[in-house]
Amino acid sequence: MAWIRVDTTSSEPVYEQIVRQVTYAVARGEYRPGDRLPSVRQLATELLVNPNTVAKAFRELERNGLTYPRKGDGVFVAERAGEICERLRREEVVGRIAEALRDAAHSGLPAQELRRIIEMELRTVAREESRTVRSGEEHGKR
């Protein structure tokens, strides 16, 4: 279950990292409506964070309509999770990119230079992703 990785040094709060990554995992189809997520305690020990932090993330997921808790049973992916997290993911991605580009443009950096940077980073990202996917295929199927 290496689908979540938290970076406690990041400025992004740990609980938000969890929310975001669970959302992405559902968006990628790794979790489907009705599936049970790992329990709060289990995920907490796995990620080496406090159960309260995971609980906070799960509460946020619930507020977003992505999951629902059944007391004494576990946390489950909601029926309408598909559309919701699809939308959330898109909003998140578009929002982050829009902000980065707006600030970049506002910085006075020439448009041509900006495009070069984007192309460079896109290639870097594609390279990283392909590597991850391939190693994932090797390890995952065992």
Longest dimension (CA), the chain: 57
Residue 55 as a binder of a copy of itself (CB under 8 A): the answer is no
CA pair distance 84, 65, nearest whole angstrom = 7
List binders of DNA among 58-97 (CB under 7 A). 58-59, 62, 69-75
Q: Which is nearer to DNA, 57 or 84 (CB)?
A: 57
> Helices 51-63 and 14-27: crossing angle, nearest 10°?
50
Residue 5 as a binder of DNA (CB under 7 A): the answer is no
Task: Please say whether the beta carbons of 1 and 35 come within 8 A.
Answer: no
Residue 112 as a binder of a copy of itself (CB under 8 A): the answer is no
Chain centroid offset of residue 13 CA: 13
Residues contributing to the site for a copy of itself (CB under 8 A): 8-9, 13, 20-21, 24, 27-29, 50, 63, 68, 70-71, 73, 89-90, 92-94, 96-109, 111, 114-115, 117-118, 121-122, 124-126, 128-129
